[in-house]
Amino acid sequence: MAWTSFPVDRFQGAIRAPGDKSCSHRALMLAGAANGVSEISGLLEGEDVINTARAMQALGAEVEQTAPKRWRIKGVGEAGLRSPFAPLDFGNSGTGSRLLMGLMAGYDLTAELTGDKSLSSRPMARITDPLKLMGAQFTPEGRDKLPLTLTGRADLTPISYAPKQASAQVKSAILLAGLNADGLTEVTELHATRDHTERMLRSFGVDVSVRPGRGSQNLVSIRGGQSLQAVETSIPGDPSSAAFLIAGALISPSGGVVVEHIMSNETRDGFFQAAGRMGAGLGAEEIGDGAGERLVDLQAATSELKGCTIPETLVAAMIDEFPILAVIAAFAKGETRVRGAEELRVKESDRISAIVAMLRVNGVEVEEHDDGFTVMGCDGPPPGGGLVETRHDHRIAMSALVMGTASQKPVAVDDIAMIATSYPEFLDHMRTLGADIRET
């Protein structure tokens, strides 16, 4: 059964952004390992995050939902995480599985990790290689994919490691393992990636040092043996989810949207910067701080967009926003070029190939590169009329449905179920703003 987004004349209103997915995973993990009882509000209750909550429970933390989006977690503290009785199923979530591998590596436990078809096809050696150097073991040996069984140890060896990819998941897994290593663990990033692990570790009372390295490198280090102390915290709004609503306003014939309570963090704002370069009318109003992050209400209105070359320095800060960037590029005048984004090949789907197919089936000219794509903008609404293969990728599904709100003909997707992994309220929010999305 397909779902179709029909063109609408206006896309207007105000929406409070759902809780940030990256911060929600991290808050549950750190609270589950901490001493004491943490209270977390504004948690994203998407499937990916719920799988992390279940995993923390299986590892010995007491995890309880006290009200919608409010969670109480009694951490294991000095007792440590324990071996779960059954495999930990991370569903669709790269972040949940990879970060928790890092955290679990520093405890005397054995755990099997599994995931859905998409997650089971994603590379894991980027995580298991550094964790093995620290002393964790993985079976079957030499395997790069889930399912994997991890055996951790409480006396990990610290490492100084330079991952080949600019990846917040790799950095975070190593830092979380470093929490229980005997000495200083250091990660040299190719470029700075999202820094939520560093910020959240600090809010749980752990010292993390960040300093610039050579060129664009970023050096992050943590001394092992520090203990996590429970917190009361509220999760800021997710800029990656907000990007869909903002894009809807930019391409609408009559767009005017405010997305409230979005985290404003320069390691995450690449899409908004790129859209600004393309001529997007965006306005941000500062509304304070939450959980160590700045918060803004972001406004967007119908804009005449022009294509641009996305600077490679912005890629890490918009790594999840390329599907929706491709949509606004289809409405723009001129070409939009993306290079240096080869990591998109190993997300929930091969996102370069999925983006190219999404645009082509809707009559938009696009060229595929090994590490990116070039969109020939339509200078106005693209033809539409296509059925997009989502390839079990939530961001492809949401991007295609946003495209349908303002293309010449409706845009359909083959499935929407996986949208619940990151943004369960997506359809409700889109409809509140005026979208006409129906099962067809």
Ligand X SMILES: C=C(OP(=O)(O)O)C(=O)O
Ligand Y SMILES: O=C(O)C1=C[C@@H](OP(=O)(O)O)[C@@H](O)[C@H](O)C1
Which residue, 320 or 389, has its beta carbon nearer to ligand X?
320
| Contact string (CB under 6 A) for ligand Y, positions 71-110, x = contact | -----------------------xx---------------
Smallest gap from Cβ 394 to ligand X, in A, equals 7
94 binds ligand X (CB under 6 A): yes
Amino acid 89 reads D
The rounded distance, in Å, linking the Cα atoms of 48 and 25 is 8
The neighbouring-strand residues paired with 152 are none
| Contact string (CB under 6 A) for ligand Y, positions 251-290, x = contact | ----------------------------------------
Smallest gap from Cβ 346 to ligand X, in A, equals 9
Beta strands in 302-418 (DSSP E): 335-338, 365-369, 372-376, 387-388, 411-413
Q: Is 167 annotated as a binding residue?
A: yes
Q: Is the dihedral of CA 289, 218, 93, 354 positive or negative?
A: positive
- Tokens at 6, concatenated: 């029909």
Contact assessment for residue 101 and residue 137, using Cβ atoms and an 8 Å cutoff: no
118 binds ligand Y (CB under 6 A): no
Contact assessment for residue 291 and residue 233, using Cβ atoms and an 8 Å cutoff: yes
- CA distances from residue 387 to 251, 286, 338, 384, 433 in whole angstroms, order as listed: 20, 39, 24, 9, 23
The rounded distance, in Å, linking the Cα atoms of 1 and 126 is 37
- CA distances from residue 145 to 48, 108, 109, 121, 133 in whole angstroms, order as listed: 18, 23, 20, 6, 18
Q: Which of 320, 389, 415, 425 binds ligand X (CB under 6 A)?
A: 320
Q: Which of 320, 321, 389, 415 binds ligand Y (CB under 6 A)?
A: 320
Q: Is 202 annotated as a binding residue?
A: no
Q: Is 351 annotated as a binding residue?
A: yes
319 binds ligand Y (CB under 6 A): yes
195 part of the active site:
no
Instruction: Name every residue whose Cβ is closer than 8 Å to that of residue 420 and which is 6 or more positions away in sequence.
Output: 46, 47, 394
Closest CB to ligand X belongs to which residue?
A: 94
**Within positions 4 to 63, which residues make up the interface with ligand Y, using CB under 6 A?**
22
Q: Is 391 annotated as a binding residue?
A: no
| Contact string (CB under 6 A) for ligand X, positions 338-357, x = contact | ---------xx---------
Which residues would be at the binding site for ligand Y (CB under 6 A)? 22, 94-95, 167-169, 172, 194, 319-320, 343
State the binding site for 3-phosphoshikimate: 21-22, 26, 167, 169, 320, 347
Annotated binding site for phosphoenolpyruvate: 21, 94, 122, 169, 351, 395
Annotated binding-site ranges: 21-22, 26, 94, 122, 167, 169, 320, 347, 351, 395
